[in-house]
Structure 1
Amino acid sequence: MVSHEAERYILLFCFQKQASVLKSPTTQLSTVFCNYWVHTSSALFQVFLQVIGVIAVAGVIIPGILIPIAPLLAIFLFLRHYFLQTSRDIKRLESITRSPVFSHLSSTIQGLSTIRAFRVQHQFQEMFDKYQNLHSEAWFLFLTTSRWFAVRLDGICCIFVTITAFGCLYFRDGLEPGAVGLALSYAVTLTGMFQWGVRQSAEIENLMTSVERVVEYAELESEAPWETDKQPPEHWPQEGSITFDSVSFSYSDSTPMVLKNLSIVFASREKVGIVGRTGAGKSSLISALFRLAEPEGRITIDGILTSEIGLHTLRQKMSIIPQDPVLFTGTMRKNLDPFKQHTDEDLWNALQEVQMKAVVEELPNKLETLLTESGSNFSVGQRQLVCLARAILRENRILIIDEATANVDPS
């Protein structure tokens, strides 16, 4: 038995190997997948030809042996169909239970210093063991079903070898010793080769469950049209008044309503604060306004119904500063002005207003400095200030703030 500590080191090694592959370009991932597919397919094709060759040789030497081949083939097809129905579901379960293991390990590695500071290593080890044991149960069940199938395939091969051997004895008078030896030696080779080839074909079909998960994401219901024929006035909205008229909102058809029959008016130039406990629907109000999911009822901005205009036009005319700062992989200029609508002077003035100008000036390439993923080369407070500067540059009439100063000092 392998100890938990050894299992952790083994899994960490596997995770590092997987991470090294994921960090490579997409073309390399495609190449690895294509190479694996070609190698497996060629091996299966080779096994298939060998099986046909063995049956053909045995049939030429002993034609009567072809009679029991039909029922054996029917039994094989039934077993394969029965096995794949169970194996695919178990493979899906194994993939689902594998994800928490890697996500927990990834978050643990990223927050290792915090975990050590609070001395909660034991709790994280227990959580990891829990996820690992759950995945091991599904993985062991998958291995058990594979061995169940392999034993029965070997049984079919043994029946074929037995029929061939007794056929040679029954028709011994009309057979040459060399032909008998050839038929028996070829039949014996089926024992390990046949079950391995069939298991590989089943494994390929099981691996296609990963493709199923990708297809599910590819077939997600799309948002509303990005652009529509109806265009608001050029300088819309001029006043910035928002009206909710009997608005109900839910994130999907299968979830309950978060907002129910909400009617409210936000007048122009008003500063409105929405207060409520967790789950009261504060963020859902923002989601309904930005149409992250289509609300029921009417939402109008300066008399224009938001459901009649394109999402690009609607979202471009409103600025939002989220509680969790969002930065994109790219230059500082791209994060401040993604649509390239402002001059360098405007960018520096916005950074000056949020007290980030000195920080950006110290960067190697200033506005052209590349930010790492999610802006991790800045502190959380600095990322929040960059989001504030981005909102200042937009100069929209409608500004939505979701605890924007939660990570920023009062000064």
Structure 2
Amino acid sequence: MKTARQRSRKKPEAGAVKLLLRLSAPYTFQLILACLCVVIVNGALLIQPLLLQRVIDYFLIGGAVERGLNSIGGLALLYLLVSAASAIFSYLQALIVSKAGQSLTHELRVRVFSIIERLPLTYLDRTSSGRLITRATNDTSEISDLYTDVVISLVKDVLLLAGIVYAMLILSPGLTLVSFTVIPVIVFLVFFIKNKIKKNFFHMKHYIGQINGFIAESISGMRVIQIFRAEQEKEQQFLKLNREYFSTTLIQVRLNSILKPASDMFQSLAIAILVWYSVGRIAGGTLQIGVLYAFTTYIRQFFAPVSDLADKYTSIQSALVSTERIFELIREEERLEEPDAGLPMQRLDGRIEFRHVWFSYNGAGWVLKDVSFVIEKGQTAAFIGETGAGKTTIISLINGFYKVQKGEILIDGVNVNDIRLDDLRRNISVVLQDVFLFSGTIRDNITLGDDIDDDTVQDALRASCAEAFVQGAPEGIGEPVTERGSTLSAGQRQLISFARAIAHDPAIFVLDEATANIDTHTEKLIQQAIDNAASGRTTLIIAHRLSTITGADLIIAMKAGRIAESGHPRELLERGGYYAKLLQESRDHVYSS
């Protein structure tokens, strides 16, 4: 079992590294250029102790007197030039890497958002918004930090360590072995802490996702929270989440606090061992003071990147965890909706047929059971029934949001799964009970980015009976709309949603309880808007108020996922069945799907 768990951990990490390499491919030249700068900087750092060693052993202790570049003055000038080169190329390296890292993060964030936009509703139904927000923000930022703060530093540190070992071996293989007696202990410490750090990072990411989702949900539902005086309860829930996150970050702080002080302690221990070992050899004339000085400098230089690697290790683990989480999302690209795939059907006639349709959201309970009906082109059909009867599910299936498990859905005689998704949804406009408006203007919320001119927008406003209140706004169709349309009344939001639906000129018009939450005056306006929108179009209405659908051509009464009865309203009323019973018992009352 242990081996299997280890394999399960290695696979995603390997996938994350491969993903990082693929993402880095367009910036290969910049990274190579940055690595060349790193080589120059490391070369300068390695040369400096050698220059000082020569000054100490050859001039200060040996008493040599030379002129030109090989003099103390010449070596001092050379030391200055090497230091200046190190500073210049360090700056260039940082500039190149930062630009490449930010460009990569920009593209990655765009890719993540593009994936989120095309995720199937089955994925969104089981995934919290907080998790997706975290991937698009925190996780992409972690990867940016990996490139700008870690990757080149890692290359620099590794190359510097290799260069230091090589220089020390040239000066004295014996002293090199003595200097590195503490290395096995450091390696053991790093590997001991490694798994604890990574495991804790997964917990941290999980809790920050929950916090993001909780805050987003609370802001959206703040009106309900305040109405029902639930502020204290929500605050307690937030405090619990925040305490969990605080606990994981505290563990991370403790783990981080071990590595750097341990590295500094082992550096001092290595120098102490080296000095103890060298004193007698210097006294015996078998070791030069300059060499000892160079070694102590190299040890400090050696443990500086080791300490830096220890410090960066947590950043690397955090970035790898973020990459794995993004990699999980990117793997969903295989299941993304393909708007351009399928049979092109620029304009639908609007004939809808369900043939023995069975559907379940989770495979554990049928929401629709053997549902069959036909709605002819241009007809107005109303779906009625109790909550959970399956009315809204039928609308979702027509839009292609889900696929049925049994049976088939045909539009104009073509299976809905075979129609190009972009054409299917272009021909269907839906007006929901809970209208969603975006930040922007009234025009933006009607066009939603489509190429719809202002004349068409005005015609849609007129047909939806929204022209009067929009013209009364200070800036007309350019009037700003706040997030979710919070500054507009429910009726105004509903009228704008009608205008949106009409402006897109659909072949199929869907109203999902669009008159449920509005006053009588607005209902009359919306009823007129429905009549205007339904003209020449197939119209589907999920009825909340049965009195509003007496003019429908077809009523389909749903009960427990099945069709209880269907037919013309007058025919069903005369039959005295389920529809007649609902109308008698619930006239002018509220039904919801």
- Residues 151, 257 of structure 1: CA spacing in aligned structure 2 closer, same or farther, 3 A cutoff? farther
**1:289 is aligned to 2:398:** yes
Task: Tell me what 1:242 maps to.
Answer: 353
Deviation per CA, 1:64-103, whole angstroms, max 9, x where unpaired?
Answer: 1334678865665565455443322321210221233344
Contact persistence 1:97–1:131 (CA under 8 A): yes
Q: How much identity, in percent, do the aligned residues show? A: 20
Contact persistence 1:244–1:264 (CA under 8 A): yes
**1:227 is aligned to 2:340:** yes
Q: What TM-score do the two structures reach when normalised by structure 2?
A: 0.54
Rounded Cα–Cα distance in structure 1 between residues aligned with 2:219 and 2:447:
34
- Residues 118, 392 of structure 1: CA spacing in aligned structure 2 closer, same or farther, 3 A cutoff? same
- Residues 168, 58 of structure 1: CA spacing in aligned structure 2 closer, same or farther, 3 A cutoff? farther
Deviation per CA, 1:35-57, whole angstroms, max 9, x where unpaired?
Answer: 88435555555655665565456
Q: Partner of 2:408: helix, strand, or coil?
A: strand
Deviation per CA, 1:242-275, whole angstroms, max 9, x where unpaired?
Answer: 2133433436xxx645546533214332523243
Contact persistence 1:62–1:168 (CA under 8 A): no
Task: Tell me what 1:267 maps to.
Answer: 375
- Residues 140, 287 of structure 1: CA spacing in aligned structure 2 closer, same or farther, 3 A cutoff? same
Deviation per CA, 1:108-130, whole angstroms, max 9, x where unpaired?
Answer: 56777875665544333322211
Contact persistence 1:227–1:309 (CA under 8 A): no
Task: Kindly report which structure 2 residues correspond to 1:178-257, keeping only aligned pairs within 5 A, or say none.
Answer: 178-184=290-296, 186-187=298-299, 194-220=306-332, 221-228=334-341, 230-232=343-345, 236-238=348-350, 240-250=351-361, 256=364
- Residues 179, 224 of structure 1: CA spacing in aligned structure 2 closer, same or farther, 3 A cutoff? closer
**1:309 is aligned to 2:419:** yes
Rounded Cα–Cα distance in structure 2 between residues aligned with 1:113 and 1:402:
23
Which of 114-123 and 28-37 deviates more? Answer: 28-37
Rounded Cα–Cα distance in structure 1 between residues aligned with 2:192 and 2:324:
20
Rounded Cα–Cα distance in structure 1 between residues aligned with 2:228 and 2:358:
45
Rounded Cα–Cα distance in structure 1 between residues aligned with 2:223 and 2:368:
44
Gaps of 5+ in 1: 1-25
Rounded Cα–Cα distance in structure 2 between residues aligned with 1:134 and 1:326:
33
Which of 99-108 and 359-368 deviates more? Answer: 99-108
Task: Kindly report which structure 2 residues correspond to 1:11-410, keeping only aligned pairs within 5 A, or say none.
Answer: 37-41=147-151, 43-44=153-154, 47-48=157-158, 51=161, 55=165, 58-67=168-177, 76=186, 79-105=189-215, 119-150=229-260, 153-154=263-264, 156-157=266-267, 160-169=270-279, 171-172=281-282, 173=284, 174-184=286-296, 186-187=298-299, 194-220=306-332, 221-228=334-341, 230-232=343-345, 236-238=348-350, 240-250=351-361, 256=364, 258-259=366-367, 261-268=369-376, 269-278=379-388, 281-296=390-405, 297-338=407-448, 339-340=450-451, 344=455, 347-394=457-504, 396-410=506-520
Deviation per CA, 1:275-302, whole angstroms, max 9, x where unpaired?
Answer: 3435x54443332222223323311123
Q: Partner of 2:385: helix, strand, or coil?
A: coil
Question: Number of residue pairs matched?
Answer: 380
Q: What TM-score do the two structures reach when normalised by structure 1?
A: 0.74
Deviation per CA, 1:133-173, whole angstroms, max 9, x where unpaired?
Answer: 01011111222332344465456545533542343146442
Task: Tell me what 2:61 maps to.
Answer: none
Query: Quick one: which amino acid aligns to residue 312 of structure 2?
Result: Q
Q: Partner of 2:381: helix, strand, or coil?
A: coil
Gaps of 5+ in 2: 1-105, 110-136, 522-593
- Residues 222, 299 of structure 1: CA spacing in aligned structure 2 closer, same or farther, 3 A cutoff? same
Rounded Cα–Cα distance in structure 1 between residues aligned with 2:194 and 2:142:
25
Rounded Cα–Cα distance in structure 2 between residues aligned with 1:341 and 1:108:
35
Task: Tell me what 1:13 maps to.
Answer: none
Q: Partner of 1:277: helix, strand, or coil?
A: coil
Q: Partner of 2:520: helix, strand, or coil?
A: coil
- Residues 387, 150 of structure 1: CA spacing in aligned structure 2 closer, same or farther, 3 A cutoff? same
Rounded Cα–Cα distance in structure 1 between residues aligned with 2:342 and 2:213:
44
What's the CA shift for 1:60? 4.5
Rounded Cα–Cα distance in structure 1 between residues aligned with 2:174 and 2:287:
13
Rounded Cα–Cα distance in structure 1 between residues aligned with 2:347 and 2:280:
96
Which of 148-157 and 280-289 deviates more? Answer: 148-157
Deviation per CA, 1:293-317, whole angstroms, max 9, x where unpaired?
Answer: 3323311123221112111122222
Contact persistence 2:470–2:476 (CA under 8 A): yes
Aligned-residue CA RMSD in angstroms?
4.0
Query: Quick one: which amino acid aligns to residue 96 of structure 1?
Result: H
